[in-house]
Structure 1
Amino acid sequence: MHYQRSLIHCVQGIASEGGRRSVIRLKRALEWLPGKTKTYAHQWFFMAACIYAILMVPLAMLARHGYGPAVLAAPTVHAFEMLFGFVLALITGYLLGPMPKNQLLLFLLLWLLARVLGVIAIADWLALISNAVFVALLAWHLLPRLWVAKKWRNRTLVPLLGLICSLTVVIALIGQFDDYRLQRTLLGESVQLFALLMLFMGGRMLAPAVAGEFYRQGMELEARVQPQIEAGLIVTLTAAFLLASVPTLSGVMLIIGGLLAAIRLIRWQLWHCLARPDLICLGVGYGWLALGLLSLGWVKLTGSDHLGTAVHVITVGALGTLAANVMVRVTLLQVKQYPSRIPQIVIMTGIMAIAAIARISADLSLYREMFLAIAAVAWSMSFLLCLYVIFDCQTRVLSRKSL
């Protein structure tokens, strides 16, 4: 009888332990379903942005030769999807922060619906409505939160993001009326707004990280955010956008902005951070941005025919490099890993540099199609590597939670 009672207690203990584990596993599974539990927006939107970036550029290349979605053969559609599709996904993931999963799922579904409808081009008005609802919700969640900043330089994010969200709807609406000339003009000028956003956010990410590396080495970085230069960047790029109808003045403002960005980058003294390849790679992206502003300003000032080339210095060199690095950096820090120990950051930055150089060379060479193909493959390879790092981090988080 004693052994029987011991056996019964043992079986009950095993059963209760198994039941407890089952309940815990069920609870963790339910947490990943849409509900009141919160998750970080970047966990979903960075992965979606990477997949979209990997697919869109090769699809656009194939469309030009009659093998992909025909709508992507139009430069305006390709530009719109990359700026107001891909980049808005990055903005959402970076700035939205933690929120209930059911709300985040709504954001993601609206973004996906707008992207799919925009590519298959069978319901243009539904694509317009999806874009409009998505950016309206994004502005409603972000702008009041950003407006509480005390300094005017920080508050400039509110009108900047508000204007970007508004342009999403305006440009999509103009596309419904087939006014491709106006649509192309607005797309070209909107690049300056995204450049200003990259200058602001890139500086706010680089400055404290470089200062921390200086502190680790027993030094002090005096030039951190550099508020005077940042204010100058805000003023010059805003003026360049507002003076778009006067190309020479707009070009002068862009050149001044490019010089200010270069000075700001030099004053961070990244040559003292060679042990931190992640910071060097962020600096490379910021350098592409300064070069792009100088190039775009020179083209506008001189009336050169290479406007598209200058734009791609910003959209491929700067945007591609900074986007990949920021997504990887934010993801790694979220799971408490050090970006400086991830060799993929250097590799994807180098591959993106090949993409940028090839895209620029395509406009300056007789072998245009070859260089365009190289640029498309390199762009996708860089974001494929970025996706690998993000996916690896997410699976590690899930495996830890399941233990």
Structure 2
Amino acid sequence: MSKLNTKRAPKPQAFWLFFPAASLLAAIAVPLSVWAVWSGTGWPAGLLGAGHGHELIFGFALALVAGYTLGPQPKTLLYPLFGLWLAARLSWIFLPHSLLAQLLGPAFALLLAWHVVPRFNAAKKWRNRMIAPLILLLCLLTLAFWFSTALNIPYAFWLPGPYKLMHAAITGLLLLMTFMGGRLIAPAVAGTLEKKGIALEARVQPRIEGMLIIALGGAIFLMAFPVADWITGSLLLAASGLITLRTLRWKLWLCPERPDLLVLAAGYLWLAVGALATGLALLRGTAVAPALHLITIGALGTLSTSVMLRLAWQRSHRKSPAAVEVFPIAALLSAAAISRFMAGDAPFSAPILLWLSASFWALAYLWLTVRLRILAKHAKNRRK
């Protein structure tokens, strides 16, 4: 009888494991990265320079991908994979120059790609098959970052330096969020409006989506291998306009009773703002770092928190999160994005703005971590 019950036991959901861990990493890593420089101690070493970007893209963002795409998995797969992710994070933060730290991160990325990418190859249309190569690209950029840092290979056209790889990875995240965010928002808005008797004609908007894939796909390559900044900047400006147009055509102002969708739309518009600011910086020949933080803080922050809360509420309470759950977090992340952008390219010359940004970000993700744990317990009790 016990064997029968074991066989029928449901597989654990990956997001209940990866989402709280990713949220806690985000809350801790950003203030620690500011402290490492501001204090003059250089501790923790793994969050200095490009290190904090490494953790937020190849640690935090890949954990989000794992939680969202893996679904239910056997414990024999899920727990070792999570343990590998956790070991990679700890070794990178505290011992970034060790062989262990240099190997564990790429190992997790490649294993994640091995399990996730084949699941998205069944679609027939090329647009619908974009998730697989985008996830694979982010995972392979982890390996490229290792080549450019751990092996001390000098900059070459065939292998950009770590900062160029970071910029390319952020642009890749921009495209991934644009694609997946659209596929999440469009059907949800259409379903909400249909209940009101309103037909939404502009749903996925395949032509705009196709143009976004082409524009941002080109921008990813040009970010890593800069040929002419005016071309990259123009592509990003075009993408910003297309994202804005796509969002407006969803008519989200007709869904005031769905705060979760309104916040998702706000995160989607942060993609447009970040692409616009980055494109203008490239055209003007100024530093792109402040503008890229509008993507990583404003867009990634708002979209990731919204998706995590939305999925957790649906699984634990069978409904969408209320306004009190999503609006405060979105407000904190907007304040964090604006503060970091105002701090400019030399943020430590404006320490108040920098610390405000880090504090707003950390507070949002600490609160999210607590909420995810509470919702996980509720879901567990509901299953009993």
- Whether TM-score is above 0.5 comes out as yes
> How much has 1:66 moved relative to structure 2?
3.3
Does structure 1 residue 315 correspond to structure 2 residue 296?
yes
Partner of 2:84: 110
Q: Which runs of 5+ in 1 are unaligned?
A: 1-22
Residue 355 (str. 1) matches residue 336 (str. 2): yes
Q: Cα distance, 1:336 vs. partner?
A: 3.7
Larger Rg: 1
Helix, strand or coil: the match of 1:98?
A: coil
Q: Which of the numbers 350, 372, 379 marks the counterpart of 1:390?
A: 372
User: CA shift at 1:122, angstroms?
Assistant: 6.1
Establish whether residue 329 from structure 1 lines up as the match of residue 303 from structure 2. no
Distance in 2 between residues matched to 1:75 and 1:317, nearest whole Å: 21
Of 232, 236, 247, which residue of structure 1 is paired with 2:211? 232
Structure 2's unaligned 5+ residue stretches are none
**Equivalent-residue separation in structure 2 for 1:73 and 1:107 (angstroms):** 23
Contact 1:128 1:173 (C-alpha < 8 Å) held by counterparts: no
C-alpha displacement of 1:401:
3.9
Moved more, 51-60 or 382-391: 382-391
Contact 1:243–1:250 (CA under 8 A) maintained in structure 2: yes
Q: Specify which of 296, 301, 304 is matched with residue 286 of structure 2.
A: 304
1:76 aligns with 2:57: no
Report the RMSD for the aligned CA atoms in angstroms: 2.3
Please say if residues 214 and 221 of structure 1, whose CA atoms lie closer than 8 Å, have aligned partners that are also in contact. Answer: yes
1:13 match: none
* Cross-structure match for 2:164: 185
Q: How far did 1:147 drift?
A: 0.6
Does 2:14 match 1:58?
no
Match of 1:138 in 2: 112
Looking at structure 2, the residues matched to 122 and 234 of structure 1 have their Cα atoms a distance apart, in angstroms, of 34
> For residues 1-400 of structure 1, what are the structure 2 equivalents within 5 Å?
38-64=11-37, 65-66=39-40, 69-72=43-46, 74-121=48-95, 124-178=98-152, 182-244=161-223, 245=226, 246-305=228-287, 307-341=288-322, 343-363=324-344, 368-400=350-382
Distance change (3 Å), C-alpha of 1:366 and 1:48: closer
TM-aligned CA distance change 1:66 to 1:36, over 3 Å: farther
CA distance in 2, matches of 1:184, 1:98: 35
SS in 1 for 2:200: coil
Q: Which residue type is aligned with residue 25 of structure 2?
A: Y
Q: Call closer, same or farther: CA 1:146–1:73 in 2, change over 3 Å.
A: closer
User: Deviation at 1:68?
Assistant: 6.5
Q: Give a deviation string over 1:65-87, Cα, whole Å, max 9, x none.
A: 23572414522111111111100
What code does the residue aligned with 1:192 have? T
Q: Aligned partners of 2:135 and 2:14: how far apart in 1?
A: 17
Q: Distance in 2 between matches of 1:387 and 1:219?
A: 37
The CA deviation string for residues 142-186 of structure 1, in whole angstroms up to 9 with x for no partner, is 111111111110112222111111110110231114558811111
Question: How far off its partner does 1:40 sit?
Answer: 1.2
Sort the Cα spacing of 1:47 and 1:73 in 2 relative to 1 into closer, same or farther, 3 A.
closer
SS at match of 2:286: coil
Q: 2:15–2:67: 8 Å Cα contact kept in structure 1? A: yes
Query: Are residues 401 and 271 of structure 1, via their aligned partners in 2, closer, same or farther at CA, if it must alter by over 3 Å?
Result: closer
Alpha-carbon distance between aligned partners in 2 of 1:149 and 1:40, rounded to the nearest angstrom: 24
Which stretch shifts more, 190-199 or 140-149? 140-149
Partner of 1:189, secondary structure, is helix
Question: Do 2:294 and 2:337's aligned partners in 1 also have CA atoms closer than 8 Å?
Answer: yes
Matched residue SS, 2:12:
strand
1:247 positional shift: 1.2
Farther-moved stretch of structure 1 (229-238 vs 377-386) = 377-386
Amino acid at match of 2:167: G
- Give the ranges of 4+ consecutive aligned residues of structure 1 lying more than 6 Å apart after TM superposition: 364-367
Distance 1:384 1:310 in 2: 25
**8 Å contact kept, 2:309–2:321:** no
CA distance in 2, matches of 1:401, 1:157: 32
d(CA) in 2 for partners of 1:41, 1:255: 36
Distance in 2, Cα, partners of 1:67 & 1:283: 40
Please give the per-residue CA displacement for 1:37-92, whole angstroms capped at 9, x wherever unaligned: 51111010001101111110111111112357241452211111111110000000
Equivalent pair of 2:46/2:95 in contact (CA under 8 Å): no
Is the alpha carbon distance of 1:47 and 1:340 closer, same or farther for their aligned partners in structure 2, counting shifts above 3 Å? closer
Deviations 1:77-124 (A, max 9, x none): 111111111000000000111110120001101101111110111662
Partner Cα separation in structure 2 for residue 278 and residue 196 of structure 1: 22
